[in-house]
Amino acid sequence: MVENLVNRRSSAVDLHLDLAPGGSRKAALSEALREAVTSGRLESGFKLPSYRALAEDLAIARNTVAETYAELVSEGWLEARQGSGTRVAHRPGSPRDKARAVVRAEIRPQFEFRSGRPDPTTFPRSRWLSSARRAITAAPTHAFGPGDPHGRIELRRALADYLSRTRGVVTDPRKIVVCAGFSHAAEILADVVAAPPFAVESYGLPFHRAIYEKTGPTIALPVDRNGCITDELVTTDAQVVILTPSHQFPTGSSLHPRRRTTAVDWARTTGGLVVEDDYDGEFRFDRTPVGAMQSLDPDRVMYVGSVSKSLSPALRLGWMVVPERLLDPVLEAKGVRESTVGVIDQLTLADLIDTGGYDRHVRAMRKRYRRRRAHLIHALGERVPHVAMMGIAAGLQVVVTLPPGTESAVLRAAGDAGVAVDGLSRFRHPDAAGTKVDGILVGYSAPTEHTFPAAVDALVNVLVGVG
């Protein structure tokens, strides 16, 4: 077979055709085009190259191409319209059509209430583009070479100022390591700390826990309305504890000051490490902002944050504020080159922070999510008074507690109604002590703005039937 790569000059798209050697060029071209259509490589509506372009690239006569097109048009493979060129005709049941039908069947219209998902329509596109333009223009030439695993200095400087100003973090640019979100930080930490087990909160993200469990089982610490019960650390042989002190995920409690001190004292006494996951530190509503736990002892607490909730999880941009003793091991584990976070994104975020665009966006989102939270709480309180709520003072989700034994039924009903929501049991550690609490986690940041009222109505209608 003779392979030819045809450059579609008329539409700037490449077209790959296999022409059989020998014999009639017209027959070979006709067969190659039929094969491309039937296989689904050329989909309905695809605009073919002009006679001249195709003839040049295949080294065949222009008339041969014209005659082939005309023949395939008459057979219904192609269609030609004045001023629109020659295109692949619509063929019901083609491989592409079948594939699309499968995708459409899999995508069920639903109201999105799963947690950890900011409204995708609120991403600050204009500000991000403006910052990207400025950042790329101002960036030194060497910034476009292999990336530094430490992260761009522009971003680390911006983060040092921002975290100190807004979260009370004690750091400098040298101790900040850029990463691709908390999961990436967890993977690095699992490589650095070769002394399992890890202690985790009895409620948390299963895929985070799975990262630590690659080295061995994790220890579940109980959680109550005052956050994680850190007093129990002294009864374990853990070397690392992972906490969400500002806003426990998913129950929503804030770690009591005494329990913060207990965890830090444990780390000082045992030589252990506290990992602080500040996953939604920007969003506080009904209480005085809680500062980062890291400020109690920067040598014993590793602070981790990201833009997943404030901007978008699609960016994969996060940071670790690393204790001095772990800085070199963390950088060594990350690798000799930056392979996870693009330099352009780092430079853009640095500019967004430095110019105040990030602060303005967060303030706008805080107002929007506060309104949504109020709408949701009012609707639930008015129409479903027999369910309770917790974790409403901060963050982007509310826990709706349910009567015992009803969680599975509610999730099934929600699925039938097209409401996507997480069950509280999904986040419970398999070894968690105490009575299991039935409930759902309602991420009120996830629905788009124009669908939010209807989404709340659909959710409430599901809960109305709960006994």
* 96: Cα separation from own chain's centroid: 28
Encoded tokens for 446: 């996830």
Distance in angstroms (rounded) separating the CA atoms of residues 158 and 55? 56
> Tokens in use for 372?
């949504």
* pLDDT score of 410: 94
**pLDDT confidence of residue 194:** 66
What is the residue-level pLDDT of the chain in tens, covering all 467 positions? 444 544 444 444 567 787 888 888 899 999 989 988 888 888 888 888 888 888 887 888 999 999 999 999 988 899 988 777 899 998 766 555 555 555 444 445 489 999 888 999 999 999 999 999 999 999 999 999 988 999 999 999 999 999 999 999 999 999 999 999 999 999 999 888 866 789 999 999 998 888 888 888 899 999 999 999 999 999 999 999 999 999 999 998 999 999 999 999 999 999 999 999 998 888 888 767 778 999 999 999 999 999 999 999 999 999 999 999 999 999 999 987 777 889 999 999 999 999 999 999 999 999 999 999 999 999 999 999 888 998 888 889 999 999 999 999 999 999 999 999 999 999 999 999 888 899 999 999 999 999 999 999 999 999 997 76
Which pLDDT score is estimated for 212?
Answer: 87
Q: Is the CB of residue 343 less than 8 Å from the CB of residue 143? A: yes
Cα–Cα nearest to 397, from 258, 275, 224, 280: 280
The pTM of the full predicted model, rounded to 2 decimals, is 0.81
CB-CB contact of 114 with 357 (8 Å)? no
Q: Which residue has the tokens 């910052």?
A: 131
Of 429, 391, 425, 423, give the one whose Cα is nearest residue 410: 423
Compute the distance between CA of residue 365 and CA of residue 270 in angstroms, rounded to an integer: 41
CA dist., res. 84 & res. 166, Å (int): 57
Residue 318: strand pairing partners:
179, 306
Locus of tokens 């060497």: 142
pLDDT at 98: 56
Whether the ω angle into residue 250 lies within 30 degrees of 0, i.e. cis, is: yes
